[in-house]
Amino acid sequence: MASHRRPKQPSRTRVTVLTTAAAAAVVLSANAANAAPSEKPGKDEVKAKVDALYEQAEKATEKLDGAKEKQDKLQKQISTLQDNVARGQEDLNELRDGLGSMASAQYRTGGIDPSVALFLSSDPDDFLDKASAMDQLSSQQVEALKKVQEKQRELAQQRQEASEKLKDLSDTRAELKKKKQEVQGKLASAQKLLNSLTAKEKAALDEEQSRATRASERTVLNSPGKAGSGRAGAAYAAAQGMIGRPYVYGATGPSSFDCSGLTSWAYAQAGVSIPRTSESQATIGTRIYSQSDLQVGDLVFFFGDLHHVGLYAGSGQVLHAPRTGTVVRYESMSTIGGAFQFGVRV
């Protein structure tokens, strides 16, 4: 006989849970539908972010320049040491040949002095440390052995120094690679942000910068600052001739520059050799902390870590290579992101 049981009804708890879940789903769907799409950052926000990235890139660039400078110095020092070692080895060989000739002469006239024979088959350092052996040598032999000993010590020291500098060079190259990747990463991020702007927004940013540059040029022409020394004036004039040249990180001119590349190049044209990086350039000359005391051609430094430098152009203006995407130009010192720290009169 068939069963006629009534179908089991869902419990009140289960119904409540399902109803609540359905209601939540409806609310979420409604919210999603009504939510405003994420707003694209405006040109001013993009500019602020790009400027921050360019500042970080410039900071890394100065560290990169410092590593390059250190690498160049180490390579020159290593080359000199290796040349010295090669020449020293030739001198040592000649000294040993002389001792060999002395031993041969002694053999022909009655046998080799046992002390010389001992030297020719062992380390003279060990031999000469034995004071009793000195009595067995003639003054000529003693002098020859001492020269060999000194040359061996000198060569050992130079080889050790070369080995240490080679290790330092390897570490410097690793640092160079790391800093280069850091700079490239910051620049790529900045370019990505710039690419998010419309053509109209990019044009507006370019026009804003052009107006600011023209205003700085007028200020410099209409209110020239106090003239600097002959060398400072010559350096400044050389930099003026580079206006419009592009900023390229690590570049020292004359086709392109980074900030300290421009200042070091300009002073070189005036016959003055100054360090390569902004941080090192800040350690030379006489510091000037009051902007009113600056003269045209003085070096001027910005940011707490001194990673940006330019040439004072008078009336609160600076002639510098600002950052990637710009050219050598005049700019008001008040518009540079990092506050003026001090000047240096070379």
**What residues are labeled active site?**
259, 308, 320
Closest CA to 51 of 338, 339, 342, 341: 338
Helix 259-269 to helix 230-240 angle (10° resolution) is 120
| Interatomic CA distance for residues 124 and 130, integer angstroms | 10
**How far is Cα 259 from Cα 182, in angstroms, rounded to an integer?**
18
Strand 286-288's sheet: what is its strand order?
Answer: 286-288, 340-345, 299-302, 308-314, 317-320, 329-332
SS3 91: helix
Q: Strand 299-302 vs strand 340-345: parallel, antiparallel, or unpaired?
A: antiparallel
At a CB cut-off of 8 Å and minimum separation 6, what does 120 contact? 99, 100, 103
312 close to 225: Cβ distance less than 8 angstroms: yes
Beta carbons of 309 and 302 less than 8 angstroms apart: yes
Dihedrals phi, psi of 304, to nearest 5 degrees: -60, -30
Name the token pair of 123: 């380390």
Task: Record the tokens describing residue 228, joined without a space.
Answer: 């600097």
Question: Rounded CA gap, 293 and 343, in Å?
Answer: 9
